[in-house]
Amino acid sequence: MLFLGVDVGTSGIRALVIDEGGTIRAQARAPLPEVQGEHGWREQDPQCWLDALEGCMAGLGQQLGPAMQSIQALALDGTSATLVVTDQSGQPLRPALMYNDQRARDEAREIAQALPASGALASASSSLAKLLWLTRHEAHVARQIIHVQHQADWIAATLTGCRGESDAANLLKLGLDPETLNWPTEVRKLLEAAGLDPAILPRARPSGEIIDQISPAWARRLGLPASLQLVHGTTDSLAALIAAGVRQAGQAATSLGSTLVLKLAAKLPLNQPAEGIYSHRLNALWLPGGASNSGGAALLKHFSVAEMARLTSSLQPHQPSGQLCYPLTRPGERFPLNAPSFSGSEISESDPSKRFQMLLEGLCYIEAWGYARLQEGGTTMREVFSLGGGASNGPWMQMRANVLDRPVIVPQCAEAALGAAMLAASPGFGTLEQAQSALDQPSQSFIPDPAAVAHFRPMTEAFITQFAEDAGAG
């Protein structure tokens, strides 16, 4: 048996096939055309997603040959808040408004007034804000909307013909209540006031639930078996967490990209929008999290990728420098402290090795502070999975383990497409957690050194005290 996961991104589509033992049997990629738009507008024609999907399936077919017909199920993940509005037949009424489209600033402010605890909804990038924008600026489109969808569920609906439902994760930025999985009265009233029928809102379904079989026409076009089942997917970020192995309360995941994104699996949600803390839901698990403006972009302000690779050998992961710095690219922080005017640290250290050490220590202290905030919800963090390019820096991973006083785990593969494939497999294994256990990928663990932990602990405490005061004063 084989299982297929597809990750639909901004610049390309990735597809990955695993067998029932977790071995990756084939992978393929296909590019997407550049996203169009200026002045904060970002649009893409959904048809290009289908064209790229067809290209990916051709690539898989070349690798798998007749085994392509052994694929049992397919799940897709996509960028959260990439909005597609369609007619009754599922045809898009206009290009998709991408996840990072910023045109709906006025609507975001209106949402913030109507829903004071709206958190991520009160953002110009939220699906709800974009939908309200359409009613005011493209009324001719809004009048024709029958289905409101997102990237992953629109493709799944196209392949099956089953419309009007979506996975719960993709619906959060449209206003779904993640605790009840219903649409709040306040959201319905906002749509009605804008002239939209709330009936256009999808039904929320769990990630990993079977949707239906692929249509015969699409099975032939993509070279997939006619018996293949489509399974509800999730967002790209949650798919990466699934691939990494997060499946139990107490497991955490840090995405080491241009920013630092932290999530802690828990049994209960923790929502403090004013403090930058929000909770996603992954079936029975809650994922309280936050995102710092610090991260890889702050490192690139000081060093090129090549320079960081060269300086890595000089890192001292077991001994702190004794210096505290809060690296930011520009003023403004959102988590673990919410301080719009906070500018971080001015770093005057001229020695490249010492400055690199200070910067990485600063990121470690920010991460430790963030997880301390997330553990206020009552869940104790046991271990941290690492995602993103920064996870390849071994000495930094050991430094993080020593600062966090928790094992830091770097999966060999944490591709979102792998997480989608695990979702595709979950009906056959019983639950998503059982599928993850059976399909687990190799990983490398960095274990805290007790002596180093003792050195770093007072530095972490001093970091939190100093920058909480500095941000408050600012």
Give the span between the Cα atoms of 104 and 124, in whole angstroms.
5
Give the span between the Cα atoms of 320 and 295, in whole angstroms.
19
pTM of the model: 0.92
* Residue range 335-361: mean pLDDT, rounded: 94
CATH (residue range 238-473): 3.30.420.40
Residue 165 φ then ψ, to 5°: -145, 160
pLDDT tens track for 133-175:
999 999 999 999 999 999 999 999 999 999 999 999 999 999 9
Q: Which of 237, 247, 244, 222 is nearest to 291 (CA)?
A: 237
* Residue range 194-205: mean pLDDT, rounded: 96
Helix (H) or strand (E) segment spanning residue 465: helix 450-473
The reply to whether CATH 3.30.420.40 applies to domain 2-236 is yes
* Residue range 342-369: mean pLDDT, rounded: 95
242 burial (CB, 10 Å; 0-12 / 13-18 / 19+) is buried
Count of beta carbons in the 10 Å neighbourhood of residue 143 = 11
Give the span between the Cα atoms of 195 and 93, in whole angstroms.
17
CB 431 within 8 A of CB 285: no
Residue 300 φ then ψ, to 5°: -70, -15
Confidence tier at 122 by pLDDT (50, 70, 90)? confident
Report pLDDT for 120.
72
CB 209 within 8 A of CB 426: no
Q: In what order do the strands lie in the sheet with 408-411?
A: 278-282, 285-292, 260-264, 251-256, 383-387, 408-411, 443-446
Q: Which of 269, 73, 36, 272 is nearest to 156 (CA)?
A: 73
* Residue range 28-54: mean pLDDT, rounded: 94
Report pLDDT for 139.
96
Give the span between the Cα atoms of 245 and 365, in whole angstroms.
24
Q: Is the dihedral of CA 241, 242, 244, 245 positive or negative?
A: positive
**To the nearest whole percent, how much of the chain has pLDDT over 90?**
88
Measured between its terminal Cα atoms, the distance across the chain in Å is 58
pLDDT tens track for 382-417:
999 999 888 999 999 999 999 999 999 999 999 999
Cα–Cα separations (whole angstroms), residue 314 to 186, 247, 358, 397: 55, 35, 12, 14
Confidence tier at 117 by pLDDT (50, 70, 90)? low
Least confident of 118-127, 259-268, 439-448: 118-127
Q: Is the pLDDT of residue 37 over 70?
A: yes
CB 183 within 8 A of CB 177: yes
Which part of the chain is CATH 3.30.420.40?
A: 2-236, 238-473
Angle formed at CA 126 by CA 123 and CA 131, multiple of 5 degrees: 120
Kindly report the average pLDDT of the chain as a whole number: 95
DSSP 8-state class, residue 120? G
Q: What SS3 string covers 188-225? A: HHHHHHCCCCHHHCCEEECCCCEEEECCHHHHHHHCCC
Give the span between the Cα atoms of 98 and 9, in whole angstroms.
10
Confidence tier at 454 by pLDDT (50, 70, 90)? very high
* Residue range 323-344: mean pLDDT, rounded: 94
**To the nearest whole percent, how much of the chain has pLDDT over 70?**
99
Report pLDDT for 451.
98
Residues in Cβ contact with 14 at an 8 Å cutoff, skipping those fewer than 6 apart: 6, 7, 27, 28, 29, 56, 415, 416, 417
Q: Which residues pair with 369 in a beta bridge?
A: none
The more confident residue out of 276 and 367 is 367
Report pLDDT for 473.
54
Q: Is the pLDDT of residue 118 over 70?
A: no
Confidence tier at 436 by pLDDT (50, 70, 90)? very high
Confidence tier at 251 by pLDDT (50, 70, 90)? very high
In single-letter form, the type of residue at position 457 comes to R
pLDDT tens track for 261-303:
999 999 999 988 888 898 988 888 999 999 999 999 999 999 9
Structure tokens at 415: 């591709």
DSSP 8-state class, residue 406? S
